[in-house]
Structure 1
Amino acid sequence: MRHLRVLCAIADTGSLHKAARQLGLAQPSLSTQLRRIERALGAQLFVRTQAGCRPTPLGLAVLSRARPLVAEFAAIVTETRAAAARAAGGFRLRIGATASRAIPGWLRLLRARPGPAPALQMNVSGNALLAMVAAGRLDMAFVHEVEGSPLRIPPGLCLRVLVEREPQFVTLAADHPAASQPELSLADLAGDRWMVDSTVDGEWDGLSRVLRAAGLNPEMLHGDYLTAYSLAATGEVVTVSQPTAHPRPDLAIRPLKGDPIGVRLLLAARTEAELDEVYTELEEAYWAVAREAPAYREWLKRAEPRGARDGRAMPARWATAEGPADALT
């Protein structure tokens, strides 16, 4: 396994010097190890040039077999250490997440358990978080997947769907002419500029597709959502928002007719047992903030009977025996 890690490090860095530094070795020692590996296999695996090292065709074939083995071994080590720490009472859960109002409540519920408090790492990129889970740098990730822009799910990850399709609402100034309506069409915003955080996986492409499908070609600005909300409050832009967004007196949060923009909410981990360990708390936290969001609460009241008529699957939290009206009180 050590030899396979050496080959992967050289290929990843493209340099014996950089690979040696990554592995904590002296470069001459790494060069000696590479020669031994090549002698053992009976073939040259890398071409050395002034620009660095690049795999030979045979080297590429070896690497294609080596990478999954190295990743699987790393996962075994990570999971074994985590299990040992959990058994000893010293395990600290490492959670990654894209932005969601459910995060504070989820952490509060998890911190109420005995043992160390979980650690949180936020990132705008769901793809980056999923890669960190696969590499063992995080235990799990709560991410959103923009409709039409699927995330890259690394092999071996287990997924749990919290919400199959969460509608995305629009945020605009409270005194915007369209804000008097309880539900908007994209045509109502034809004269507005939009601001979108293009660093969030799929957001720019997803909104662009929806606007084109509606026959609109508005000016679109790049910006983080904190800036977008500030500009929306002054009427400079409109922006997409999660339906759980907290209401503000200077902003109006409205659903869009036909729900043209949607995301899927996913929890990912390396094992089903890890998902089982935290999913109930995440579900509870999410629906708690959903009940606190007036626009989303009203949307769910309308959507539940509509979903029952046309066969659309509604979130389980709202399809209980008590019915949506009781669930929302």
Structure 2
Amino acid sequence: MCAGVIPADFQLAGPLAKRRIVVAMSGGVDSSVVAALAARSGAETIGVTLQLYDHGEAVGRAGSCCAGRDIRDARAVCDRLGIAHYVFDHASSFRETVIDDFADEYLAGRTPIPCVKCNMGPKFTDLFALARDLGADCLATGHYVRRVEGPAGAELHRAADPARDQSYFLFATTQAQLDFLRFPLGGLPKPRVRELAAELGLGVAAKPDSQDICFVPDGDYASLVKKLRPDAETHGAIVDESGRTLGAHKGLIHFTVGQRRGLEIGGAPEPYYVLRLDPVTREVIVGPKRALAVRAARIEGVNWLGGDYAGPMTAKVRSLAKPVPARFVEGRVVFETPEYGVAPGQAAVLYAGDRVLGGGWIAETERAELASV
């Protein structure tokens, strides 16, 4: 794709000069390129930024999707492109639906994924409504996923660049949202996107990508949870499956299923891992790796995009995990071979090849009884 080519995602029905595209702008290079490509398509383009949490201002550094500097960067890009830019304050909604939920999930012994909750709430639900109110024909974002027109309508597919694919975090996208959304970067590698930003003269072309959860300063999520929920650092025991005490901990918020580091226990006959967390007794239950093997996981809040698909599928239970063969049976993801490190609070996302069939939140797991690793 060169800077003058209209991405397929922007080939809307009817003359583009009479169409309106709203672009979700974070102030980063990805959404800025999307805005530039939308403007070059000939459609009226409007940039929209949600003020969610001013992490950058708070800690004095850039690299967070919601920081004040990022809003200024988004505005500067819109000024250069000659398009309108609006900022909407959704900090209260973000705190309730994302930040508070993040803290409460850790207190409940689960491992949350705030980026999915943000996509489910402020980024898609709220922006979707705003785009509709602005009379848009579509809402475009800089996510690295592909929207493919299938026989039964729009489908969600993995990005062409596996290193940038964000489909796991977008499993909760509804069919109505998918029909309205556009992802013009899904077929591009990130280096090409930066080249496009430079070719288009955008000042953010070399801006670093965000690495942390936007509202967690320096990745220290435990400190944030303690600040929001002072009782989060209630001490407890580290025990094996027989109930024998092996050590002590300073709060469940420091642990997740599958974790090995930081246990600081003695007397174990082999390396031990976190098997589960008990929010009632405040116990961290540990055991050997073979005890982590899971044969199935029950999921809640299922969002299904697969229509009547009933063929072979794979499941992904962590953002960095490889998809593994599985079946979806009555709200349960059943793995073909035992899977390890399946943590309640994370998502199980189902695929048919590159297509996202849907997914849900892992509520509980069923252990596979293995004699050895």
What is the TM-score when the length of structure 2 is the normalising length? 0.27
Structure 1 or 2: more helix by fraction: 1
Specify the structure having the higher radius of gyration (Cα).
1
Structure 1 or 2: more strand by fraction: 2
Task: Kindly indicate whether structure 1 or structure 2 has the higher relative contact order, using CA contacts under 8 Å at least 6 residues apart.
Answer: 1
